[in-house]
Chain A
Amino acid sequence: MGEVMVITSGKGGVGKTTTTANIGTGLASLGYKVVLVDTDIGLRNLDVVMGLENRIVYDIVDVTSGQVSYSKALIKDKRFPDGRLNLLPAAQTKDKTAVNQAQMQKLCEDLRKEFDFVLIDCPAGIEQGFKNAIAGAEKAIVVTTPEVSAIRDADRIIGLLEAGGLRNPRLIINRLRPAMVKQGDMMSIEDMVDILAIDVIGVVPEDDTIVISTNKGEPAVLDDNSRAGQAYRNITRRLTGADVPLMNLEVSEGLFDKVRKIFGMGR
């Protein structure tokens, strides 16, 4: 039985879709059978981030409404010749009420019989779309950026996840800018962990290669020279149980931190 994991955040634009694409592709690179489910109905995006937008025939609503089987709707990513990476696209012309929670539970139950990982890309917000996305999930990843509004929304989402029975969600901090953290103008990893009180599964730096890879439809996790890609490779391995330390840039320890440690002034 595979694992059903929802990637959520509350706030839009913090990197849920980018994260879903990269973790999914990363897991497939490690040999796992993976399906990505885009539940952002009306605002389909995961297909373009994955570079699979030209091959869509059926979508999630065709499957949940019983019109076609999921295997007919899945798009196989040709970067993996054995078809181990798949996408179930969102419907673009319908609205969020076209799917309900019972249908999502059924879909996830079906998918986890065939796949090692079922990754659900959640829409922004806390309404129906969010409730659908978490309905069939047993694990959750919360994505935030180091900003007040994103962290506030993440905190609210963590409360709602726990109320919905999804205990111990794990945090991805996206778009961290180590230089700003050093200046004291951006919250650090520790600051955010203090506030949100959940485990961090990874930290992804702000990185132009994310924009470039999205332009091309090739997840950065496949680019050996991308720092964000490296961060996603690390997250992927942590998800499979490996103990991978945070990347150096993630820790962003400046000279002054070292001086403080030497003088025993560290916290």
Chain B
Amino acid sequence: MAVLDFLNRMFSRENSNNSKNIAKERLRLVLVHDRSSVSPEIIEALKEDLIRVISNYMEIDERSLEVNLNNEDSSVALVANIPVLGLKRRNVPR
């Protein structure tokens, strides 16, 4: 609806340059990081789940497994480094 689009722009409602939208986006990013540091248990729990799932498919070096949340320019990425010792031949669940 072009009229509403126009009104939207005129009232600058959905304009992502509104300072409140900038605030929301910045908060979203910073809180992903803050929340993960408040509870390292979450990362630990995630690690355990990852090990369980991946072990269905391959042998991994559980002790060298690393999971981190990395802050990039405009996003937060979950980065996992999981050394693989070997692939399993069978037991591939479908």
Contact = CB atoms under 8 A, between A and B. Distances in A.
Given A184-B20, A188-B20, A265-B4, A195 B30 contact: no
B20 A155 contact: no
A160 B18 contact: no
Nearest to B41: A163
Given A160-B38, A256-B7, A259-B7, A152 B15 contact: no
A263 B12 contact: no
B75 interface: no
Interface centre among B24, B26, B27, B35 (most CB of A within 10 A): B27
B74 interface: no
A156 B38 contact: yes
B20 A187 contact: yes
A185 interface: yes
Given A152-B34, A159-B35, A195-B31, A185 B20 contact: yes
Interface string A65-82: 000000000000000000
Interface string B9-23: 001110100111101
Contacts of B15: 184
A191 interface: yes
Nearest to A185: B19
B88 interface: no
B24 A185 contact: no
A156 B34 contact: yes
A183 B18 CA distance: 8
Contacts, number: 55
B68 to A, nearest CB: 19
Where chain B touches its partner, the secondary structure class is helix
A24 to B, nearest CB: 30
B43 to A, nearest CB: 14
Contact of B31 (A155, A183, A259, A260): A155
Interface in A139-155: 147-148, 151-152, 155
A194 to B, nearest CB: 8
Interface centre among A184, A188, A256 (most CB of B within 10 A): A184
Nearest to B11: A256
A185 B12 CA distance: 10
Given A155-B31, A184-B19, A256-B7, A163 B24 contact: no
A124 interface: no
A155 B37 CA distance: 12
A204 B58 CA distance: 56
A222 interface: no
B2 to A, nearest CB: 13
23 contacts: A147-B23, A148-B23, A152-B27, A155-B31, A155-B35, A163-B38, A163-B39, A181-B20, A183-B12, A184-B12, A184-B19, A184-B20, A184-B21, A185-B18, A186-B20, A188-B20, A191-B24, A195-B28, A195-B31, A256-B11, A256-B13, A263-B1, A265-B4
Given A151-B27, A184-B20, A185-B20, 7 more contacts: A159-B34, A159-B39, A184-B15, A184-B21, A185-B19, A263-B1, A263-B4
Interface of B: 1, 4, 7, 11-13, 15, 18-21, 23-24, 26-28, 30-31, 34-35, 38-39
